[in-house]
Structure 1
Amino acid sequence: MSIVKINVLTVPEEQREVLEKRFAARAGAVEGSDGFEWFELLRPVEGTDTYLVYTRWRDEESFQAWLEGPMRAAHQGGGGNGGEKPKPAATGSTLWSFEVVQQTEPKNA
């Protein structure tokens, strides 16, 4: 069954818009990766400065292939106009890993 990776990002309030714009600018970048199944960026609504980046993969090998290829290349790029690489919007990051042991199909709207 699938695996889930949740990147837990600590994002100060003044950096929230920056983080969300960066994710929006890269929309679609992960969807074409072999083994990719799902993505969600979760914004905190109360009492925390923690964003969750939820991705779901067919297996650990698919995630590792993306991590070592497209993701690494995206995070090593420069500032675009010959400038420096932009500073991270997050002040901290932790990766949580899970195996999916039970699921239901999404309800169609």
Structure 2
Amino acid sequence: MFIALSVFEVANGMEEEVKQAFVKRPHLVDDAAGFLEMKVLSPQDNGSEIWVMTYWEDDNSYNVWYKDHMKEAHQDIPKGLKLVPGKSKVRFFDQVTK
């Protein structure tokens, strides 16, 4: 299993709008080949930070989706959203155990 973790921090107080956008997301990625699940987390000690974990059968499935659908998947980002510069990152993981 392959996991893509995106971490970002909201800079302008729009945390709830961002969280609601994930709750109400159109689920476009759900039908992507190799997609398994998505979890969206926010640390209790920093509610403006958002972690998006997507689980895939393999890294190729993620890369195909990213190349072909990333732009449309982000079309419902709240207007006016600002992120803390230098706080956004994407990391990739291989699952070692369940």
The bucket for the TM-score relative to the shorter chain is 0.7 to 0.9
CA deviations over 1:44-70 (Å, ceiling 9, x no partner): 211463211011111111101111112
- The answer for unaligned runs of 5 or more in structure 2 is none
Q: Partners of 1:78 and 1:37 in 2: how far apart?
A: 21
1:14 is paired with a residue of what secondary structure? coil
- Supply the distance in 2 between the matched residues of 1:25 and 1:78 (Cα, whole angstroms): 9
- 1:51 and 2:76 matched: no
Which is greater in Rg? 1
| 1:1-109 → structure 2 map (5 Å cutoff) | 2-12=1-11, 14-47=13-46, 49-75=48-74, 77=75, 86-91=79-84, 92-103=87-98
Q: Give the TM-score of the pair, scaled to structure 2.
A: 0.80
Cα distance in 2 for partners of 1:58, 1:9 equals 24
Query: 1:100/1:67 Cα in 2 relative to 1: closer, same or farther (>3 Å)?
Result: same
State the AA in 2 paired with 1:3: F
Q: Secondary structure at the match of 2:18?
A: helix
Distance 2:44 2:34 in 1: 31
Q: Distance in 1 between matches of 2:76 and 2:25?
A: 15
TM-score w.r.t. the length of structure 1 is 0.73
The percent identity for this pair of structures is 23
Q: Distance in 2 between matches of 1:88 and 1:48?
A: 15
